[in-house]
Amino acid sequence: MRLKSIELLGFKSFAKKTTLEFSTAITAIVGPNGSGKSNIAESFRFVLGEQSMKSMRGKKGEDMIWNGSQSTPRGNRASVKLVFDNSDRSLGLDFDQVAIERVVNRDGSNEYLLNNSQVRLRDIAELLSGANIGSSGHHIISQGEADRILSASSRERREMIEDALGLTAYLYKREEAERKLEKTAENIKEVESLRRELGPHIKFLSAQVKKIEESQALKDSLFEAYAEYLKRESTYLRLAEAVLLDEEEAPARELGALNEKIGHLRATLDKKGKTNLETHQLMDLEAKSRNLRTRRDEVMRELGRIEGELVARQALHREAGGTIPAKEAHGFAQKIETELEAALGLEGETLRARLKAIVLAAREFAERLVSAIEAPGSTQSIEELKARKSELERTLQEIAAEEEHAAQLIHSLQAEIENEKDANREAERDLFSAMAERSGVESMLAGLRAREEVLRHEKESYRLEYGEAGALFLAQALGFESYVVRREDGSPLSDAEIFEEARANQEGRRRSLERMKIRLEEIGAGNHEDILKEFNETTQRDQFLLKELEDLALSTQKLRALIEELTQTLEGRFDEGIGKINKEFDEFFKLMFGGGSASLVLMKEKKLKRVSSQEEALDAGDEDSEDGDVEVEEGIDITVALPHKRVKGLHMLSGGERALTSIALIFAMSQVNPPPFLILDETDAALDEANSRRYGDMIENLAKKSQLILITHNRETMSRAGVLYGVTVGSDAVSKLLSIRFEEALAVAK
């Protein structure tokens, strides 16, 4: 890579466009004091991104712009452009020529251009660092700063040497990695904070999902239990109805035959005129007894309906506010069922006692229900049902009493008639026998009708359970008919086996269904789909954040490994570079001073840390905190020993000696890792004639590796240049440029 030219426009005293081309290894710039030749060195600093206005003899960016004169107005912007020959691709761009330009406007804003495309300052710095053109300015030594490397702090001196050794690119990479590591740590904290916020919500949703799972498992069990219950109940009711119809067929035919026989006997007796008062009384009593039985059946059916409605109303009230243990309700139902089954076929006082027990149990349970109900607005309806129930119970008691009385009278008359031995009474005895037989058949049919009523209630209960199953499982409940009831070993049960099972078992299944439904209602769990959707989304978000944490942890690991690798590379190359610089530094120093020695020494400085008041308070109670309040910085110190003098430190050198020492160090640095160009602004001003010749020899040697741009008054230095630029200033205060090639001058002189 070679520096081709620099172009100044509106920069300081160069109001007009001025171009310097660098076609030779050494270019010298000369001119009287105040002509603006040092502005050229500062223009290099400017275009390479120098941010310190003080180092360019200004206070703000506006000071870099031509400020005007009486004949030339001030400018609104200043620009400096460097053009490089990049044929060897040292700059890492696929261009043969690379132009870097910086523009400053009157408002202080800056623009950076790379081949006329706007870029960031960082882009310029990273591009140049790859070609050993760093930001420390070790390759630009301006007037008055020749010993800057000597007067700098050890840390600043280390940075200059790192820059000179071409380590800036590695430093940029390490700084970038450290910034990324810091950003990654912030991201980790943020993601962990988000996960902490999600934690309680996930815990809550997990509990809800557990409820849903428990509810679903219970619902599955309930569906299975319902399917078996409904299948068994449907099979039982179908077969029970068939059996009942079959059992009713013979008694019904027999009753018809007896009615026909009784009618025939009555007609015969009436025709013979053989009926008497006892016979008429007996017939009337028997008819009255039949009417009482019919009325009793009607009252019992009405009472059952009222009790069912009362229970239903009270259940509604219990849902509205009242409560009663389900165990008590099931116990009451089982008790009533047992009493009713026991009452079937009973007559007289026994039936009356049994019915009274049923009435008392129903009244007690109803009173408990009423005491549990606290829902307003329905009391009157329940009271009316209770009043009607009490009325029916009284009517039932009255009927029972009348039946008992009629039965006694019939028994008495039958005994009286049986005692009579009159042959004429034979027909009457046949009639009475038929009537007694008919009474037995009617009792049998009454029992069958009672079973029919029980079956009707069972059908109604089945219908309600089927409806509840439909409400819970919708269309799935309709498929229970295909359910196969099986034994424990898995073999299917026949319909006959299902029918013959004790009804108590089926009642136990129904109570189990009720318990499962109550448990299902207690679990609740709200809107399942919404909860599951939110749970899935939240857990997916948490898993995503967890994956982010894993990725960030991996990035942290990789960044730390990269930082460690870059640090080791920097330290290795720095140590190697220091050794090479020391060798060259010592040789140049001996050449400049005719002996002596000089070297760079790696040193460590302790520096106090800035800590917060809280940290100070914590450290106050820590006996081992003495070493924790300092940080160690590595720097570079310079040791020199002049020949024939007892001078061991930089502070004991004279101004000329400092200048020679700084020149020796700069040249040594340039020899080890030569920059593309080196600018020396009057660094030879303090040299005598002998040292000037040595200086000239050294720059010719340096020119073999780097382009040199020398701003000088020294004739010896001028003589070593291939091109000489002269800077003058006219009455308009604008710097102008003249140039001459020494080869052409020599040819003209000949």
Tell whether 220 and 88 lie within a shared domain: no
Domain boundary among 523, 552, 572: 523
Kindly state the average pLDDT of the residues 536-555. 92
List Cβ neighbours of 129 (8 Å cut-off, separation of 6 or more): 135, 166, 168, 169, 172
Token pair listed for 31: 């001119």
In this predicted structure, the answer to whether residue 477 has a pLDDT above a threshold of 80 is: no
SS3 assignment, position 301: helix
**How far, in Å, CA of 101 to CA of 48, rounded?**
8
Q: Which amino acid is at 451?
A: R
Tell whether 418 and 509 lie within a shared domain: yes
pLDDT classification of 612: cutoffs 50, 70, 90: very low
**How far, in Å, CA of 67 to CA of 10, rounded?**
9
**How far, in Å, CA of 104 to CA of 42, rounded?**
14
Closest CA to 675 of 642, 634, 706: 706
Tell whether 517 and 427 lie within a shared domain: yes
**How far, in Å, CA of 639 to CA of 512, rounded?**
100
Q: Do residues 290 and 255 lie in contact, with contact meaning Cβ atoms separated by under 8 Å?
A: no
pLDDT classification of 615: cutoffs 50, 70, 90: very low
Tell whether 253 and 377 lie within a shared domain: yes
Domain boundary among 523, 546, 566: 523
* Cβ contacts of 185-191, under 8 Å, gap ≥ 24: 185/556, 187/548, 187/552, 188/549, 188/552, 188/553, 188/556, 191/545, 191/548, 191/549, 191/552
Can you state the angle between helices 379-419 and 426-473, rounded to 10 degrees? 160
In this predicted structure, the answer to whether residue 617 has a pLDDT above a threshold of 80 is: no
List residues bridging with 486 in a β-sheet: 492
Tell whether 129 and 236 lie within a shared domain: no
Residue 146 maps to a domain: no
- Greater pLDDT, 112 or 325: 112
Tell whether 248 and 125 lie within a shared domain: no
Residue 310 maps to a domain: yes
* Total domains in the fold of the chain: 2
SS3 assignment, position 676: coil
Pairing of strands 723-729, 735-741: antiparallel
Kindly state the average pLDDT of the residues 143-160. 75
Tell whether 359 and 464 lie within a shared domain: yes
SS3 assignment, position 247: helix
Q: What is the CATH number of the domain that holds 37?
A: 3.40.50.300
Tell whether 212 and 93 lie within a shared domain: no
Determine the Cα angle at 688 with ends 684 and 690, to 5°.
105
Determine the Cα angle at 616 with ends 611 and 619, to 5°.
115
Closest CA to 455 of 649, 245, 217: 245
Q: Do residues 685 and 714 lie in contact, with contact meaning Cβ atoms separated by under 8 Å?
A: yes
Closest CA to 311 of 366, 379, 376, 390: 366
List Cβ neighbours of 513 (8 Å cut-off, separation of 6 or more): 222, 225, 226, 229, 465
Residue 76 maps to a domain: yes
Kindly state the average pLDDT of the residues 468-476. 73
**How far, in Å, CA of 604 to CA of 230, rounded?**
92
- Greater pLDDT, 502 or 329: 502
Kindly state the average pLDDT of the residues 67-92. 91
Cα Dmax for the chain: 193
For residue range 387-426, what is the model confidence (pLDDT) as tens digits? 888 888 888 888 888 878 877 887 777 676 666 545 456 6
Q: What was the pLDDT predicted at 191? A: 92
Residue 548 maps to a domain: no
Percentages (nearest 5) of helix, strand, coil residues in the chain = 65, 15, 20
In this predicted structure, the answer to whether residue 604 has a pLDDT above a threshold of 90 is: no
Of 95-104, 279-288, 464-473, 659-668, the one with minimum mean pLDDT is 279-288
Residues in the chain, total: 750
Tell whether 13 and 114 lie within a shared domain: yes
Q: Which amino acid is at 53?
A: M
Residue 664 maps to a domain: no
Residue 400 maps to a domain: yes
Alpha-carbon radius of gyration of the chain: 60
Residue 387 maps to a domain: yes
Tell whether 123 and 247 lie within a shared domain: no
Q: Which amino acid is at 351?
A: L
Give burial (CB, 10 Å; 0-12/13-18/19+) of 110.
Answer: middle
Closest CA to 116 of 101, 103, 127: 101
Backbone angles phi, psi at 539, to 5 degrees: -65, -35
Helix (H) or strand (E) holding 41: helix 37-47
Q: What was the pLDDT predicted at 330? A: 58
For residue range 264-288, what is the model confidence (pLDDT) as tens digits? 877 776 665 544 666 677 777 777 7
In this predicted structure, the answer to whether residue 466 has a pLDDT above a threshold of 50 is: yes
Tell whether 211 and 88 lie within a shared domain: no
Residue-number span of the structural domain to which 316 is assigned? 203-523
Closest CA to 65 of 6, 8, 10: 10
Q: Do residues 229 and 506 lie in contact, with contact meaning Cβ atoms separated by under 8 Å?
A: yes
Of 11-25, 474-488, 703-717, 735-749, the one with minimum mean pLDDT is 735-749
For residue range 177-233, what is the model confidence (pLDDT) as tens digits? 999 999 999 999 999 999 999 889 888 888 888 888 888 888 888 888 888 888 888
SS3 assignment, position 280: helix
Q: Do residues 590 and 170 lie in contact, with contact meaning Cβ atoms separated by under 8 Å?
A: no
Using CA atoms of 699, 703, 709, 710 in order, give the dihedral in degrees to the nearest 10: 10
**How far, in Å, CA of 576 to CA of 558, rounded?**
27
Mean pLDDT of the chain: 80
pLDDT classification of 134: cutoffs 50, 70, 90: low
Q: What was the pLDDT predicted at 356? A: 64
- Greater pLDDT, 132 or 421: 132
Of 77-86, 196-205, 365-374, 516-525, the one with minimum mean pLDDT is 365-374
Helix (H) or strand (E) holding 677: strand 677-681
Q: What was the pLDDT predicted at 11? A: 94
Q: How far, in Å, are 60, 135, 162, 171, 668 from residue 168 at the CA level?
A: 27, 8, 7, 5, 18
SS3 assignment, position 596: coil
Tell whether 5 and 104 lie within a shared domain: yes
Domain boundary among 466, 496, 523: 523
For the chain, report the end-to-end CA distance as a whole number of angstroms. Answer: 35
**How far, in Å, CA of 114 to CA of 102, rounded?**
9
**How far, in Å, CA of 43 to CA of 131, rounded?**
19
Closest CA to 461 of 345, 593, 304, 300: 304
Residue 175 maps to a domain: no
Q: How far, in Å, are 30, 588, 662, 672, 703 from residue 165 at the CA level?
A: 30, 18, 17, 7, 18
Token pair listed for 443: 């009792």
In this predicted structure, the answer to whether residue 486 has a pLDDT above a threshold of 80 is: yes
Kindly state the average pLDDT of the residues 122-147. 72
How would you list the strands of the sheet with 723-729, edge to edge?
A: 140-141, 677-681, 707-711, 26-30, 723-729, 735-741
